Amino acid sequence: MAIKRAEVIFWGRVQGVGFRFTAEDVARDNNVNGYVRNVPDGTVELVIEGEESTLQKVIDSLNDLMGQVIEKYHVNWFPATGQFQRFEIKI
């Protein structure tokens, strides 16, 4: 199976509602590396690397858990870079 990188932008009322902490829990539960951060424009950026099916599971779980605050999201898929050793919340 191929290791991939997913770069996801979430729009909606996604800041100040525990989104990053939920993303951290889901990412760590699924053993993926990367980060989540609030973006000044009000969106949240999630960058994760791992097996493609696992990354999709993380994205789907976030949509299930935080769907009430997500208006939309967009995923860009890339080859993994291997730059991450763990998952973190960037400030």
**pLDDT for the residue numbered 91:** 85
Per-residue pLDDT reduced to its tens digit, 57-85:
999 999 999 999 999 999 999 999 999 99
Q: Which residues pair with 77 in a beta bridge?
A: 6
Q: Assess whether pLDDT exceeds 70 at residue 1.
A: no
Residues 6+ apart with CB under 8 A from 60: none
Using the structure block, give the residue that is written with the tokens 């973006």: 39
How high is the pLDDT of residue 43? 98
Based on the residue annotation, tell me whether 63 is a catalytic residue of this protein: no
Given the residues 5, 13, 20, 86, select the one marked as catalytic: 20
Please identify which of the residues 38, 63, 76, 86 carries the catalytic annotation.
38
CATH of range 3-90; options 3.40.50.720, 3.30.70.100, 3.40.50.620, 3.30.160.70: 3.30.70.100
Catalytic status, residue 5 = no
